Amino acid sequence: LSGYWKFLLASSPESVPEKFYDAYFNDSDWEALPVPSNWQMHGFDRPIYTNVTYPFTMNPPFVPNDNPTGCYRTVFRIPKEWKGRRILLHFEAVDSAFFAWVNGVPVGYSQDSRLPAEFEITDFCHPCDSEKENVLAVQVMRWSDGSYLEDQDHWWLSGIHRDVLLVSKPQIFITDYFFKATLDEGFRVADIEVEVEIDSQKQDREHVSTLSIEATLYDNYGPADVLTSDMSAASVANLKLKPASRPKHCYGFHGYVLGGKVENPKLWSSEHPNLYTLVVVLKDSNGKLIECESCQVGIRNVVLAHKQMLVNGCPVVIRGVNRHEHHPRVGKTNLEACMIKDLVLMRQNNINAVRNSHYPQHPRWYELCDIFGLYVIDEANIETHGFDESSHFKHPTLEPFWASAMLDRVVGMVERDKNHACIIVWSLGNESSYGPNHSAMSGWIRGKDPTRPIHYEGGGSRTSSTDIVCPMYMRVWDILKIAQDPSENRPLILCEYSHAMGNSNGNIDAYWMAIDNTVGLQGGFIWDWVDQGLLKEDADGSKNWAYGGDFGDTPNDLNFCLNGIVWPDRTIHPAVHEVKYLYQPIKITMMDNMLKIENVHFFETTEALDFSWLLQGDGCALGSGSLNVPSIAPQSTHLINMKSSPWFTIWSTCVVKEIFLSINVKLRYQTQWAKDGHILASAQICLPPKKGFVPHAIALPRSSLVSERVGDHVLISKSNAWQIKVNSISGTIDSWKVNNIELMSKGIHPCFWRTPTDNDKGGFYTKPYVSRWREASLDNISFYSSQFSLKELPDQTVEISTIYYGLPGNQPKPDETSLSDESESVLFRVQMRGRIYDSGDVILDYEVSPKNDLPPLPRVGVVFNADKSLSRAKWYGRGPFECYPDRKAAAHVGVYESGVDELHVPYIVPGECGGRADVRWVALQDADGFGLFASAYGESPPMQVSASYYGAAELDRATHNHKLVKGDDIEVHLDHKHMGLGGDDSWSPCVHEQYLLPPARYAFSVRLCPLLPSSSCHDIYHSQLPC
């Protein structure tokens, strides 16, 4: 019945039009609304985003009188072919509760906004041969007592958001079936059992005993000609009725059990998602077909062992994400194309598992997960997080009167989804405390389906109701303690970790170092998959991703819905590269002069993979080729002696500063989720140079530099080649021209501030980094120059030096006589010495001494503003994507190019972004090739670099990416040190210690030089200036 229905939104159930459900009600002035949809996505009412707080006053089980209520009407006719059959009305899901009428007669009520409801309407429909149209009316309430069980961290959206179906059935029909497969110890024989239930009306029950039930299992992967011509040839098991399974005389449903065996079954797993087709047939006493039902099923085994969950006997590793149902244009309404897009992206990025957060998802999702091979945790639609904020009401799990409602949701989920091979774990819900009702739910599941473990994090993640220790956001050192606890026999799988809010996911490599090397740690699910931004059009017609509060919704939790590793349109965040690398199934490392290639698959060999190598020296390709690797069995390793490798001769003879070996692993054949040639895994290894590298010294001419004082400035120039303007008051280089082309428009200053990321702002339990920074005035430092000097040296160079004193910007400008190291108000003392060479090279040496009571520093480096025409960036460092000190494992060192525009990462809420780690040199050039080169110099390590048309102040000002205003120049940061991003969570300061910058002494050197169209950055990098 999908399509446009008549729709009217009333302010409450009490204010709906009188008898709007009547067949003859006049709805001609109602609006048209697509079904399925959320009405808020079509201009009715408003979306509301909250994380924990209920969007109405808590008074369970009551809901507010202000309760927007949608009235729906549509018409349908019963096909003539359905004469004499029973008719069912099926709602796949409605948010949050609804009544339904057919031709003015009430047919049912239901709630649970993520599970189906079905009503028999045979007696309420006009006869098939009637010319009358049947009128279906539905009243949907935004809030119901069920809303107290649905306090998930997502948008509150209402309406008939999944399909509505009319289903035709014979008088006696198959109402349910449950496929079960039990494997022997060697996984060579599967005992198949199918429980079947039928439904009949009272007058037909005497015929039930004369009926026969059959079931057949077909191999989906038999020869194509067999599958298209003779399905019986693809049959692998004809299931027969088990003795004594026919029920004795009883009323209601009648259950049957059919059984059989499959020899050498093709097992289902994420790596090999083999499926069979199950067909269940109901026949009358003459063998005539009454009805058949069919679905895809998989044969696989899930059991618990000591500290492990085994799938088909193997401790598979969960490389997962949490996934909300979310589409930026249609909200909670599901589009199959979007589901497929998600699955393709997940598989392409080595994600093998999904936790359905936090409710049963669209039925088609499970069918697709079966096909694509995703392990799934199926989660009941239960979350009562908001009760944590109440001192007057107990959590529903502790109250007997909530027990049946909670159990109903678990039963409904299991009964709907039980035949899907992809589901390997059931979940009792999310963040709903812990109590007797959870014990009841876990007990029911264990009785109904003992073939799958149970997951539930509430109550500390280690209660008797969970078969898996499943903490969220637990620190690495704490999960290691649990794994090493001899009294804990359950596996640990993080149900949520690495909170991906904005520029985040730092430290994720530390988790995988622990998981990959510790028995008892079996993976986890990143929070989460997609930024839950909604498409919104502003008054000026511009479209943008909206978050909490953007629709005038109160209460709201702002941008806490933006925690995905992909944007709402499924464009990937830079962090996805890190996830793909850490999740990759082929691990490549070097140890003891051997290249180690490890196949960490559990069922798949490397036979369908191609290996290749690339050797680079200082960013330049030295050699490449295919790598002959034999087929590596699952959980096996192949070693290559470096001396017999194809790159050894090149490596032994090349003379470069750095040598990097890259190994790529590609798919040889196309799959369901990737084309042939897709990179499945990659690694880069830094090789020690075999020959010493000596930089060539620049031979400088002995011509004099020209120095000229103009007011407060000193102009230093070389003929008409270049000119540098030094400000004698501020002690900075304020301008730099080459061939009269402006390269730099604002001076080079020390910099210790970064635009806060979402993680920097997090501090629910302790003070966030950004608060500590602002309290220390790190966001508003004024630098004052003292003891400035400029000297023309005998070697035809010019030396400049000064001491910068950094003071809180809200203090009055001090007298130079009051500037001293002893001043209490001085936050930083920065000694700068610079030398300007005839070649145009400038070497700047910095020695930074912060005040010792400052908080950890965001960055230590320099900032300047380049002319906006220098729009092309080129660098030798990690890339090509954004990376930071604690999120750079996937970023290979190489030479990359990009437009400055493209360096900006459009996080929905702006913050620090676009950085590149371990940069040896960077060049900014205009369209003609003129520009500026910068590198770390001397003993200084590689830099963290960023360049953007959006300065730190602008990134801090704007609340949305689309509200950013481009500057008139490019803000360039050259950081000696940069603090990590963190990401263990986003509500506590959690950058790991090794990525924090304490207020200690720092010393570093930077080299700058002008670029001409003929300049070679490679040659400049290899050159050495005279001391």
CATH assignment at residue 853: 2.70.98.10
The mean per-residue pLDDT over the stretch 373-401 comes to 96
Render pLDDT for 530-555 as a digit per residue (tens, 0 to 9): 999 999 998 888 899 999 999 999 99
Q: Where are the alpha helices (DSSP H) in 730-878?
A: 769-775
Q: Angle at Cα 380 formed by Cα 376 and Cα 385, nearest 5°? A: 115
Q: Which residues pair with residue 799 across a beta bridge?
A: 791, 835
Residue 252 pLDDT greater than 50, yes or no: no
Strand, helix or coil at 286? Answer: coil
Q: Residue 316: inside a domain, yes or no?
A: no
**Claim to verify: residue 889 and residue 969 sit in the same structural domain:** yes
* pLDDT in the model for residue 224: 53
Q: Which residues pair with residue 524 across a beta bridge?
A: 319, 494
> Which DSSP letter does residue 582 get?
H
Residue 743 pLDDT greater than 60, yes or no: yes
Q: pLDDT band for position 1027 (50/70/90)?
A: low
Q: What are phi and psi of 504, to 5 degrees?
A: -140, -150
**Claim to verify: residue 800 and residue 899 sit in the same structural domain:** yes
User: Is 507 in contact with 992 (CB distance < 8 Å)?
Assistant: yes
Residue 284 pLDDT greater than 80, yes or no: yes
Render pLDDT for 774-827 as a digit per residue (tens, 0 to 9): 999 999 999 999 999 999 888 888 999 999 999 998 888 887 777 777 788 899
Q: Residue 266: inside a domain, yes or no?
A: yes
**Claim to verify: residue 877 and residue 992 sit in the same structural domain:** yes
Neighbours of 852 (CB within 10 A): 9
Residue 737 pLDDT greater than 80, yes or no: yes
Render pLDDT for 432-446 as a digit per residue (tens, 0 to 9): 999 999 999 999 999
Question: Which of 64, 148, 994, 960 lies closest to 562 in space, CA to CA?
Answer: 960
Render pLDDT for 313-327 as a digit per residue (tens, 0 to 9): 999 999 999 999 999
**Claim to verify: residue 523 and residue 603 sit in the same structural domain:** no
**Claim to verify: residue 923 and residue 813 sit in the same structural domain:** yes
* pLDDT in the model for residue 795: 82
CA 357 and chain centroid, separation: 13
Render pLDDT for 632-662 as a digit per residue (tens, 0 to 9): 999 999 999 999 999 999 999 998 999 999 9
1026 cis-preceded (ω within 30 degrees of 0): no
Beta sheet of 916-919, edge-to-edge order: 706-710, 713-718, 722-727, 732-738, 741-751, 859-867, 969-978, 943-948, 916-919
Render pLDDT for 679-692 as a digit per residue (tens, 0 to 9): 999 999 999 987 77
**Claim to verify: residue 930 and residue 887 sit in the same structural domain:** yes
**Claim to verify: residue 830 and residue 950 sit in the same structural domain:** yes
- At which of 169, 195, 210 does a domain end? 169
CA distances from 889 to 317, 579, 940 (A): 20, 10, 21
Q: Which residues pair with residue 574 across a beta bridge?
A: none
Q: Residue 307: inside a domain, yes or no?
A: no
Q: Residue 794: inside a domain, yes or no?
A: yes
Average pLDDT, the chain: 94
Q: Which residues pair with residue 751 across a beta bridge?
A: 861
Domain count for the chain: 5
**Claim to verify: residue 658 and residue 725 sit in the same structural domain:** no
- At which of 253, 268, 302 does a domain end? 302
* pLDDT in the model for residue 960: 96
User: Is 456 in contact with 427 (CB distance < 8 Å)?
Assistant: yes
Render pLDDT for 757-777 as a digit per residue (tens, 0 to 9): 999 999 878 899 999 999 999
Render pLDDT for 864-908 as a digit per residue (tens, 0 to 9): 999 999 999 999 999 999 999 999 999 999 999 999 999 999 999
Q: Which two tokens stand for residue 870?
A: 């220098």
Quick one: how many helices (H) and strands (E) in the chain?
13, 56
Which positions are catalytic?
431, 496
Q: Residue 763: inside a domain, yes or no?
A: yes
Q: What DSSP element (H or E) covers 287? A: none
Residue 693 pLDDT greater than 80, yes or no: no
* pLDDT in the model for residue 228: 54
Q: pLDDT band for position 250 (50/70/90)?
A: very low
The mean per-residue pLDDT over the stretch 21-39 comes to 97
Render pLDDT for 131-187 as a digit per residue (tens, 0 to 9): 899 999 999 999 999 999 999 999 999 999 999 999 999 999 999 999 999 999 999
Strand, helix or coil at 94? Answer: coil
CATH assignment at residue 86: 2.60.120.260
Report how far residue 983's alpha carbon sits from residue 565's, in angstroms, rounded to the nearest whole number.
12
Residue 231 pLDDT greater than 70, yes or no: no
* pLDDT in the model for residue 194: 96
**Of 200-209, 252-261, 390-399, 746-755, which range is least confident?**
200-209
CATH assignment at residue 187: 2.60.40.10
**Claim to verify: residue 560 and residue 606 sit in the same structural domain:** no
Q: Residue 192: inside a domain, yes or no?
A: yes
CATH assignment at residue 492: 3.20.20.80
> Which DSSP letter does residue 566 get?
B
Q: pLDDT band for position 253 (50/70/90)?
A: very low
| Residue range of the domain that includes 191 | 172-302
Q: Residue 937: inside a domain, yes or no?
A: yes
DSSP β-ladder status, 254-263 and 189-200? antiparallel
* pLDDT in the model for residue 708: 85
- At which of 246, 273, 302 does a domain end? 302
Instruction: Rounding to the nearest 10 degrees, give the CA dihedral for residues 575, 580, 583, 589.
Output: -100
**Claim to verify: residue 442 and residue 537 sit in the same structural domain:** yes
**Claim to verify: residue 395 and residue 509 sit in the same structural domain:** yes
Residue 226 pLDDT greater than 90, yes or no: no
Q: Residue 980: inside a domain, yes or no?
A: yes
Residue 222 pLDDT greater than 70, yes or no: no
Contacts of 727 (CB under 8 A, 6+ apart): 712, 713, 733, 734, 747
Residue 700 pLDDT greater than 90, yes or no: no
Instruction: Rounding to the nearest 10 degrees, give the CA dihedral for residues 40, 42, 43, 48.
Output: 20
**Claim to verify: residue 194 and residue 66 sit in the same structural domain:** no
